Homo-oligomer: A and B are copies of this chain.
Amino acid sequence: MIDNPFYSHEFHGDYDLISIGELGLEEGGAIPDCQLAVATFGTLNEAKDNAILIPTWYSGTHQIWRDVYIGPDHALNPEKYFIVSVNQIGSGLSTSPHNADEANASIAMSKFPHVTIGDNVVAQERLLREHFGIDRLALVVGGSMGAQQTYEWAVRFPDKVLRAAPIAGTAQNTPGDYLIAEAMREATVSDPGWNGGEYSSNADVLGGLTRQAHIWAVVGFSTEFWKQEVWRALEFDSKEAFLAGFLEPYFTAMDPNDLLTQSWAWQRGDVARHTGGDLAAALGRITAKMFVMPIDEDQLFPVRDCKPEQQLVPGSELRVINDVLGHLGLFGVAPTYMPQIDQHLGELLATEV
């Protein structure tokens, strides 16, 4: 167990650690005591029909949703809805390689088992049912890996998901995306400090995490972001200063094993696992009213990868978000980003289902 101060209430505010017990895993093995870090906003009504679930993305936690997406002036309004953000397994807040306590000692660090998008969704469903008594969700919404989990929810538990909004993510990960995540993985584990996953501090892997940050710089933003020097709006004087002041500290604060647990799941996200590889059959199962929301400048999940999936979801709509930041537009930096998100999510939540 490594003490990494980034994964704490100091940096992430209020959340509860809730055990859902042992979690058997799709790829074999189990998490002996699966603890999920859960942040809630608003109040569950008596009918228990005002719940919204937000699964988290790679490297992200509930924090960005709390700070950017949730509020009385947003579609994700805690005065109307009971919003539950569940940090994914391996997020560093929920059970993760670096924080394995006594109960999970057998899966600490390099011994952590492979966790899938499906495992996360199964864990979330158990949490919502057993801990909150929630059987149906007014909305599942997530970005990137959160979109993967959103699709997984809608396919795996169609009766439980009334509405769904995958933002900047796919139902079936593309090979190009797999290779991007692989290059990030290699950038990290090639650091001699990685030591087969048995480092003593994430600082041992500083070089590898920095290189991963630099690959994110390339694929996470659009080429136009760099060309138009959009980072100037964030008060940086050069692209190097932006890297050093934004992306590098973001990733180097994190735990390498945790990140790799997430990217392993990201690489293999695929709802067609439920239908013997038949993507159309899997997406055809969806009964939720779905808005598919790719970002136009996204290099990781371009519109042309998202649109064919959307067309396989009955009754769904394609709602493209315009943001020159590309995939990392998800951070909500552009002032034009959240108004688009709010408009679409507001419309979706207002749809009778």
Could you tell me if B227 and A176 are in contact, using CB atoms closer than 8 angstroms? yes
Other-chain contact of A183, B190, B214, B299 (Cβ < 8 Å): B214
| In the complex, per-residue mask of A94-119: 1 if CB is within 8 Å of any chain B CB, else 0 | 00000000000000000000000000
Name the residue in A176, A214, A224, A225 with the highest tally of chain B Cβ atoms < 10 Å from its Cβ: A176
Give A229 to B223 CA distance when docked, in angstroms.
Answer: 25
The A contact surface, by secondary structure, is: helix
Other-chain contact of A190, B176, B211, B239 (Cβ < 8 Å): B211
**So how many copies of this chain end up in the complex?**
2
- Give the interface residue-count category, chain A: 20 to 34
Q: Is A201 close to B, CB under 8 A? A: no
Could you tell me if B226 and A176 are in contact, using CB atoms closer than 8 angstroms? yes
Could you tell me if B174 and A187 are in contact, using CB atoms closer than 8 angstroms? no
* Chain A stretch 298-324: residues in CB contact (< 8 A) with chain B: 299, 302, 304-305
Binding site for B on A (CB under 8 A): 174-177, 179-180, 182-183, 186-187, 190-192, 207-208, 211, 214-215, 217-219, 221-227, 229, 239, 299, 302, 304-305
| 29 residue pairs bridging A and B, Cβ less than 8 Å apart | A175-B226, A175-B229, A175-B239, A176-B218, A176-B223, A176-B225, A176-B226, A176-B227, A177-B223, A179-B214, A179-B218, A179-B226, A180-B218, A183-B187, A183-B211, A183-B215, A183-B217, A186-B211, A187-B190, A187-B211, A190-B190, A190-B191, A190-B207, A190-B208, A192-B192, A223-B299, A223-B302, A223-B305, A224-B304
